[in-house]
Amino acid sequence: MKKTTIIVILIILIILILSVTFKKEDKEVSAGVFNSLEELFPLKSTRIKCRLDGKEHKVRVVSVKKDNEKTVVVTERKEKSASDEITIRMTYDIYSDRVVESGKHIIKGKEVSTIYPLEIIKGQISLGSSWTSADGLINSKITKIEGKKITIESVRKTEVYEEGRKTPIIKSTVETRVYEKGKGIIEYNTVIK
């Protein structure tokens, strides 16, 4: 073969390789930084700083278990009440299409209250994605994706009865959760409107 034929073939191969590489990178960028819900949570035991309603907390990832169906992440944090120390243990069941949060409050080794299961994320991670809880009371939406963080805003409608009134007043509780890739929830705020 002639040198020019070899050079032309090499140039064509280089162009093909580069075009495949750029298409792959474009696909990854358009999908965002999150390819699965599991990426939002730590996959090993660790400690994370978290801001909950304006207060700094240290959250400890107690365990991470994987099976074919889901990944289960268990976290704990401590809070002081007037008389006792409360352990808040949260469980995140991470499926391919949703994340279910549940938990319990523990005082002196005894469970004193339960946080019932709630789908905190549903579907793929993309800006503007929204979903409604199974009971229809909570509407959630991904309002911001920035770098390794996503922000989810959930609005819960509740009926509040005031003294002297026969009909309830509808109030909205707005919960804002910020998740960081590999850390889980790093910020949580609640406002009643």
Per residue in 125-147, pLDDT tens?
Answer: 889 999 998 888 899 999 999 98
Both structure tokens of 116: 């019932």
Within-domain flag for 5: no
> Given pLDDT bands bounded at 50, 70 and 90, which one contains residue 162?
confident
Q: Is residue 22 part of a domain?
A: no
- 4 has a pLDDT exceeding 80: no
Quote the percentage of the chain above a pLDDT of 90: 42
Q: What pLDDT score was predicted for residue 134?
A: 83
Question: d(Cα 23, Cα 74) in Å, to the nearest integer?
Answer: 38
- Would 17 be classed as within a structural domain? no
By three-state DSSP, how is residue 192 classified?
A: strand
Q: Does residue 67 lie within any of the structural domains?
A: yes
This prediction has a pTM of 0.76
Beta bridge pairs of residue 141: 130, 153
Determine the structural domain holding residue 158 and report its residue range. Answer: 37-192
| The pLDDT value given to residue 22 | 52
Q: How many CB atoms lie within 10 A of CB 19?
A: 10
DSSP structure string for 39-76: GGS-SS--EEEEEETTEEEEEEEEEEEE-SS-EEEEEE
Quick check: is 176 in a domain? Answer: yes
Q: Is residue 58 part of a domain?
A: yes
pLDDT, residue 30, reads 38
- Residues facing 75 on adjacent strands: 61, 90
- Alpha carbon distance 103, 185 (integer Å): 14
Q: Name the strand (E) or helix (H) holding 15.
A: helix 3-30
User: What pLDDT, on the 0 to 100 scale, is given for residue 15?
Assistant: 73
Asked which of 13-22, 125-134, 146-155 is least confident by mean pLDDT, the reply is 13-22
Q: CA 22, 14, 28 angle in degrees (round to 5)?
A: 15
Q: What pLDDT is stored for residue 28 in this prediction?
A: 40
* Structural domains in the chain (count): 1
pLDDT of residue 157: 85
Q: Is residue 51 part of a domain?
A: yes
